[in-house]
Structure 1
Amino acid sequence: MSVKVNITSKGIQKVLKNYNEKQAIAEYIWNGFDANANTIRVDYVANSLGLLEQLTIADNGYGINFDRLQQKFDPFFESEKSIQIVAPKHTSKMHGRNGVGRLTFFTFAHNAIWHTTYQSEQGFRYGEIQISTGGLNSYSHDFTAAPSSSGETGTTVSFTNLRICQQDVEETVLPFLINEFCWFIELNRHKNYSIIVNGKTLDFSSNIKTLEEFNLFYPDTAVTFKIKYVHWKENLHKELSKYYFLAGGEEIYKDYTTLNKKSDDYFHSVYIDSDFFRDFDFKSFENEGQVVIFGAAKSSAEYRFLIKALTEYLKSKRKPFLKEYAIRLVETYEQDEIFPVYATEKEKELRKPELVNLIKALYEVEPKLFSSLNTDQKKTFVRLMDLLMRSNLRDEIFEMFNGMIELEAEEQDELLQLIKGFDEHE
């Protein structure tokens, strides 16, 4: 049976134009985890020229129920506005909520066929679904086959007429998958979640810079929080840096950490497990006048204690990281000839060390000052600092930076002390 709907195949590709093969393959893996799978198997075979002849992605989830097939495939065919892939904000469940990821195979293959086994009231059932790149706005399915005798649910997607090679997979796709799923695998470590590629478990620890585990104890009510902190080497794509609140190993809620989006490439995840979160109300806020009848809320003493302690902990972990990156920033500026050219070697010896120290210190206070600048802007920025320092306009330096971005009171004090410190050493 074939089903065709309103939006055209080209319209679908247009809406999903920002997706590449790395993101598309990741979406099929997310679909497996969304189906309650704990193991995803990616298998591929390349020919003597290195081109892929076969690619399959299999999961041991609950499969695609034929009775709900239209709910799974039809909604995102209705209009361009319905085609979007958005990860939920406060939970890691149902990442590919609207199933649009099933259409992204056009980025690397011409055809896709789903072989799926699900459990119905009559027992295990097996079926197939097919979609081609030339007809993304239609799908054919066959669930008339005899009941499955495997006794296991799951879905295997097979892709044919592939447009990627073995080198693409090994040098581009697999590193992307490590960064995409490392935080999620760590979140579900106790459930032994895994992604297996050609029989070998993908090693997510390769993206871990630091991992620490410890407890925080709130004595007044004898509440214990088990903490796992991970500092990642590379970014987590759309996930960013977050707190994950768990109870008995099960995720209850997640939210951005206080050091997220600081423009400093400090990628981190904090997993917090405690029975305290079993009846916790994450949606009520202290100043909204809401009363929490059962359980606790963000206004509770325990939660305030937790977040304050973790914020200080993250700041302490971030400081050496920022020092390291400040050194790298200066090295990059040297290579790109951002620093001013001094008239004499003596002038350079007098002025450049102080300028370099100011740049390093400013980066440690607020990396945002140095983000998103092109080469000309960097040169202007650095040489303006050099001019102001040479002219003894230290107060103007502070006012300039304080006006460029919003600094918290603590950050303002650090910046002011920093600039005055240079005055004292003249």
Structure 2
Amino acid sequence: MAKVEVDTKGIKNRLKSYKSFKAISEYIWNGFDAGASQILVDFSFDEDVGNINSLSISDNGSGIDFSLLKDKFKPVLKSEKKDLLSSNSSSLLHGKNGLGRLTFYHFSANAIWTTTYKKGNTYQEYSIKVDSDTLDDYNESSPINSPSSTSKTVVTFHGFDAKFSKLYFESHVIKFLKKEFCWFLELNNSLGFSIIINGVPLDYDALVGERDFKEICISDYKFNINYIRWKSAPNNQPSRYVFTSSTGLTKHFQTTKFNRKGDSFHHSLTIQSDYFDNFIVGKQNGTQDHFNTSATDEEFKELIRELDSFVRGKRTPLLHQFAKELVEDYEKNGIFPTFNSSDKYQVLKAQDLKSTVQSLYEIEPAIFKELNKTQKKTFVGFLNLILDGGELENLFKILESVIDIDSAQREQFAKQLNVTKLGNIIESIDLIVDRKRSVEDLNKLVFDNSLYAKEVPHLQNKMEKCYWLLGEHLRLVTAAEPKFQEALDRYSYLLRGEKPEETSKELVEGEHKLKEMDLFLTTRTIYNDKIENIVVELKHPTNVKLGKKEIDQVFNYYHQIKSTDGFNTNQESWKFYLIGNRYDGSEFIEEQIDNLKHFGEKYLAYRGKYDVYVVLWEELFTDFEIKHNFLLDKLSIQRDNLIEDEELLLADDFANVERSSDQASEVTLDKMT
């Protein structure tokens, strides 16, 4: 018997928001994450009352190697699949928190895993059992030789809750599974992926609003496009372009230009081509500007333009239909002003106003998103004023129903409207709002103890996406795992565009060469062609307090970089940041900062060849608020409403949610040619 690290009460507290249907989906995801292509869900029930008698979920994945069992079952708040996900930007793996296997307690008394895995030239099998009353315990049998010639895992559940019935399974579970897996099964259709429930393949065709296929030729490459529009959004999935190799393997993905624009246009596109067989994310071709975070391959740029044009063509007629439905809804709910139907002029005014609302929605549906009834009536009323008077002043009356603008701001905004496209304004607002959302995600991870957020899988992962908090135009060189030699190799590549040769590259020496920096960021400033580098050490908000020991760790990085020639030229400057939640009470760091106040730099704790700063999480968040306070206030962004429709429940959700403000992942040499 082996003991896991968090007790049953703590585990159930983490998983209390799960429903039975979501719990079952976790076991299916576990199968796919283990490399399975087929999942079998089999259940039986009492014919008289419909109670579930048995339930098993089987997969043809790689099984659970007995030597890895401790790693998989003991670190309850960690998952090796999350580690793989973090290191592979082209992966669409689901597994991330290591908790899904324990969600069975929502519908059954225990779960038994019977797993077969390959060891050498033979197969071995054993079982693991976990009871709902003791989720912090698991019992495993000893491995024995298996007669099977394939690997697999079967999870069986026993002792079902009375509410877990055939009716519930058919009305809730299957419905949820369709929305959960439709996009994934569609993406991997060519690879033969399937979910089979009591012998019947899971059929999600009812969720498909439209399918289309298109072929695009660019240079010597042929791209096969599979387009799907979903009638409603798949669970927790943005609208994406997914780029796959000629054999159907996912090589890269990114959200489309029309993702979450305030309409109901939910779509997925799979782009298959041998062009992606050796595709390298972040590769820079034909230029030495290696700080550009976008793909600069001309074929790829042209492909994105073609895809955007194709999707725009699909969206435009739908927007017209959605706009008509919006007008009908506004009419039904009394949003439009009252017009005299016996007055022909009034009738024309009413028609004109409805046409204006419809046209405006087709231009930017996000304007109409999440308005309450009073805001809708105010907005439409001011649109009516514009049509009556045609004065720009009335435009600001409309804007004032959404944001607060004083007279000086009106004048400035009027000038901006003459030179700025509405789309650019909307994109800027979206970016600011998403940055605010990301800060709130971090705030949750740092200060909400009930999330049990960890340093590496949660804070580290989130900061890898939010390093704009430390400065604009930065590029992530390394995160978490790479040691100083790998950091130097990547850094040299970014500066000179050359992959270091094993026989001629500089070797990192020194007692701290095997240390690992949490974040290593770099940027080149245009005005003086300087290289600015930032090293960040993150500390757990609850378990670690900041003092001499923690700042000494930063100085280890400091001295290692200082002693390595490859990190030091006349062009480079370095800053080191230690970030944590609170000091340890010794006042060691506080005194260091106080002694350097005369330099006029916040958080400065040491000044030498390089500078060292110590920042508390709360101070980092406050700096963001101060920097963006004017726009955030005028946009009237309500903190509680930022994530209310996103169903973020766990620390992994806050750490991994995709935002438009997310920055590029780290450079990896093994993906460079």
TM-score, length basis structure 1: 0.85
Deviation at 1:4, TM superposition (A): 1.8
Alpha-carbon shift at residue 84 of structure 1 (Å): 9.1
Name the count of aligned residue pairs. 403
Q: CA deviation at 1:26?
A: 1.4
Q: Which residue of 2 aligns with 1:270?
A: 269
Q: Does residue 138 of structure 1 match 2:150?
A: no
1:227 pairs with one of 201, 225, 248: 225
1:302 aligns with 299
CA-to-aligned-CA distance 1:214-265 (integer Å, 9 cap, x gap)? 21112xx322212111111121222211111111121111111111121212
Give the 3 Å change call, closer, same or farther, for CA 410–272 of structure 1 in structure 2.
farther
Match of 1:397 among 372, 390, 395: 395
Alignment-derived partner of residue 625 in structure 2:
none
Give the 5 Å matches for 1:118-133. Answer: 118-121=117-120, 123-133=122-132
Q: Check 1:84–1:245 CA distance in 2 against 1; reply closer, same or farther (3 A cut).
A: closer
Q: CA deviation at 1:87?
A: 7.2
Cα deviation per residue 1:271-321 (whole Å; 9 max; x = unaligned)? 1112222232222468982299xxxx8212111110111111111110111
User: Which amino acid is the alignment partner of residue 31 of structure 1?
Assistant: N
Greater mean deviation of Cα atoms: 272-281 or 91-100? 91-100
Stretch of structure 1 that moved more, 273-282 or 337-346: 337-346
CA distance in 1, matches of 2:260, 2:288: 26
> Pairwise mapping of residues 83-122 of structure 1 onto structure 2 (< 5 A)?
90-121=89-120
Paired position in structure 1 for 2:332:
335
Q: Secondary structure at 1:19's aligned position in 2?
A: coil
Q: SS of 1:110's equivalent?
A: strand
Contact kept, 8 Å, 1:116 with 1:128, in 2: the verdict is yes
Which moves more between the two structures, 364-373 or 83-92? 83-92
Paired residue type of 2:68: R
Question: In 2, Cα distance between the equivalents of 1:353 and 1:291?
Answer: 52
Which residue matches 2:255? Answer: 256
Write out aligned runs for 1:29-178 (5 A).
29-47=28-46, 48-77=48-77, 90-121=89-120, 123-144=122-143, 146-163=144-161, 164-178=164-178
SS in 2 for 1:332: helix
Letter in 2 for 1:139: Y
Structure 1 Cα separation of the partners of residues 4 and 303 of structure 2: 51
Q: Which residue of structure 1 aligns with residue 212 of structure 2?
A: 212
Match of 1:420 in 2: none
CA RMSD of aligned residues (A): 3.2
Task: Give the CA deviation at 1:152.
Answer: 2.5
Aligned-partner Cα distance in 1 for 2:283–2:398: 38
Higher relative contact order (CA 8 A, sep 6+): 1
- 8 Å Cα contact 1:19-1:104 kept in structure 2: yes
Q: Residues 151 and 225 (structure 1 numbering): CA distance in 2 closer, same or farther, change over 3 Å?
A: same
The 8 Å contact of residues 229 and 271 in structure 1, kept in 2 or not, is answered as: yes
Structure 2 equivalent of residue 195 of structure 1: 195
Partners of 1:380 and 1:403 in 2: CA distance: 6
Distance 2:257 2:29 in 1: 27
1:237 paired with 2:235, answer: yes
Q: Which position in structure 2 is the counterpart of 1:421?
A: none
Deviations 1:165-186 (A, max 9, x none): 2222212221221122112112
2:379–2:401 CA contact under 8 A, matched in 1: no
> Alpha-carbon deviation of 1:90?
3.9
- Cα distance in 2 for partners of 1:348, 1:234 equals 38
- Would the aligned equivalents of 1:76 and 1:83 in 2 still touch at CA under 8 Å? no
Q: What code does the residue aligned with 2:184 have?
A: F
Give distance in 1, aligned partners of 2:52 and 2:288: 57
- Aligned partner of residue 76 in structure 1, secondary structure: coil
Read off the aligned partner of 1:192 and give its amino acid letter. G
Shift of 1:86: 11
Give the direction of change, closer, same or farther, for the CA distance of 1:49–1:383 in structure 2 (3 Å limit).
farther
Matched residue type, 2:70: Q
The question of whether the paired residues in 1 share the 8 Å contact of 2:90 and 2:251 is answered with yes
Alpha carbons of 1:351 and 1:37: their partners in 2 closer, same or farther (altered >3 Å)?
same
Residues 335 and 172 from structure 1, CA distance in 2 versus in 1: closer, same or farther, beyond 3 angstroms?
farther
1:76 touches 1:82 (CA, 8 Å); kept in 2? no
Contact kept? 1:225, 1:273, Cα under 8 Å: yes
Unaligned stretches of 5+ in structure 1? 414-426
For residues 128-169 of structure 1, the C-alpha deviation after alignment (integer angstroms, 9 at most, x for no partner) is 11112222222111135x422132221111122223222222
Give the % identical residues: 34
TM-score by length of 2: 0.55
Q: Please, which moves more after superposition, 165-174 or 382-391?
A: 382-391
CA distance in 1, matches of 2:35, 2:277: 21
Name the counterpart of 1:186.
186
Amino acid at match of 2:421: A
How many angstroms does 1:402 deviate by?
A: 11
Q: Is the 8 A contact 1:39 1:193 kept in 2?
A: yes
Q: 1: distance between equivalents of 2:283 and 2:400?
A: 33
Structure number with bigger Rg = 2
> How far has the Cα of 1:389 moved from its partner?
3.0
**CA, structure 1 residues 231+206, in 2 after alignment: closer, same or farther (shift >3 Å)?**
same
Cα–Cα, structure 1 residues 402 and 180, in superposed 2: closer, same or farther, change >3 Å?
farther
Q: Secondary structure at the match of 1:149?
A: coil
CA distance change for structure 1 residues 314 and 93 in 2, over 3 Å: closer, same or farther?
closer
Q: Which aligned pairs between 1:275-424 and structure 2 lie closer than 5 A?
A: 275-284=274-283, 289-290=289-290, 298-342=295-339, 345-346=342-343, 349-393=347-391, 396-397=394-395, 400=398, 409=421, 411=423
Asked if the contact 2:375/2:402 (under 8 Å) is kept, the reply is no
User: Residue type of the partner of 1:119?
Assistant: K
Inter-partner Cα distance in structure 2 for 1:283 and 1:94: 20
CA contact under 8 A between 2:233 and 2:266: conserved in structure 1? yes
Shift of 1:41: 0.7
Using the TM superposition, give the Cα deviation of residue 110 of structure 1 relative to its aligned residue in structure 2, in angstroms: 2.5
